[in-house]
Structure 1
Amino acid sequence: MSPLRIAVTGKEGQVARSMIALGPDMGVEIIAVGRPDVDLQNPASILPALEAARPDAIVSAAAYTAVDKAETEKDAAFAINGAGAGAVAHAARALGVPVLHLSTDYVFDGSKAERYLETDPTGPTSVYGASKLEGERQVAAATDDHAIFRTAWVYSPYGANFLKTMLRLGETRDALSVVGDQFGCPTSAEDIARGMILAAQTMVESDDARYRGVFHLTGSGEANWADFAREIFSCAEGFGRKPVTVTAITSDQYPSPVKRPANSRLSSEKLQQIYGIVLPPWRQSTAKVVATLLG
């Protein structure tokens, strides 16, 4: 029996690269499709490229992720995250395969005191969040055979992310000020990739409606950005890096074009109950990524 073939959009993204790395160990074939073959701003390019990949399932991971820049590039953000995501889902329907779409905590306004559930009202406060919410709507409208996975605070050995920024700054700085009043669930892209592959296998094997819909997919536990930074530097010391002192500051003390959600904590209980998938504790995965980069 040939291995499951999963096409993932976005060749250079953190999740796509993590899926490519994990594929052989998990016994699946990962085909990454991206520019120049696929351009989410050119919907006509999407179906032919995905058709050529002959997938059993499609992971829709490519996105416009420049949160601050999106405020002045609204058209591009909505073209990629909204219409582009919808076009990927339309292609999945045309090919008769399930689509697993990656979304974000930014679809919420961050004002809830507890962890967000999939059933909570959305209310994005940024162009990025609004464009990702539009993508969710377009994916759901395009095909019933979809699952939307919201994640948050993604880091990995690939691309640009908070963990890599902290390690870079820690090389030349003895002290840093980091926001301490925004809370979330740091999530390793490798853990997301593993979860997506497991979910794709389940969706291909079963047409049960329980496996369709919206799910939250984040690392276990929670932190604020200052906590996350301290853990990164603590792990780095194990590889001979000098200590870095982290001082927690307020969001007001760190001006930004976009108001970040104060609460990005997502409850992943539904994912555990229906799929049986639980991502590892964020500290464990942080240590693993730091070791990959510095070990």
Structure 2
Amino acid sequence: MKAQFEKITTSRENSFKAFLYRDREFDAPWHYHPELELTYIVSSKGMRYVGDSIQKFEPGDLVLLGADLPHCWKNTGGSAGDASSIVIQWKENFLGEGWLQNPEFAAVNNLLTLASRGIKFGVKLTTEVEEMLFAILKESGFKRLIFLLEILNHLAVSSDYTLLSGDNFIANLNLEANDRINKVYNFVRENYGRKITLQEVASLVAMSEEAFCRFFKKTLNKSFFTFLNEYKVNLACKLLVETNYQVTRIAYECGYESLPYFYRQFQKFVHCSPASYKKEYHVTEDQR
């Protein structure tokens, strides 16, 4: 599917959009829009792409996105199924020009400024606003607006969050670039379990290897193979948590032919060994 600028419309009765997304899987292309967006994952798991950030997501994932920040959520492996999320979208000036400059909104103003890099909120903070996120779907008019402001204020006065995209990330938002990135995303998703060469991925988007390397680095602020290893390591983390597979099998299933190389990449991105990660986060059959 070719990515394009996403036009978001609101009804005549509301100044912002809030809805429950539900489908078999999250498969939207890498896209952007001028509206800010708050997304809460109700069900399903996979990989979340925000700017130059790639991380796994699961139920309870709450992320705030700034205007024109490229993003998408994609399921991995057998994680498709009942995919659902609460999505809230609004223009920065939806309450009129200059509303964020009022002293009462100082904390919210700072939050929305940070959102230009994408913000992932902590579990405790997310739990505190979860009820309001569901409630906003049932309300309309003034009460709906108050819920949104309460959610934003609650998030704004907390320090329980992490920034996602690097501060040097500069998005290339033309349609051709988005189309190429989506082709690369989908190719990696379907072929991560085998050796992927630079030649074939460059040919996929009709570019020379040198031109592709420059393009990918400029668009995502990282090399293609850094992106590929991030994808594989995040998938390995999922398997370490959700299965009883041995590390050797997980490395092989994630496309690593060399176990020492897998260990080096895992340490690079997760800052611990696979065994340590499994010991801390593994979910037993009784807990599932």
Q: Same fold (TM over 0.5)?
A: no
Higher Rg = 2
Shorter-chain TM-score range: under 0.3
TM-score for the superposition, normalised by structure 2: 0.27
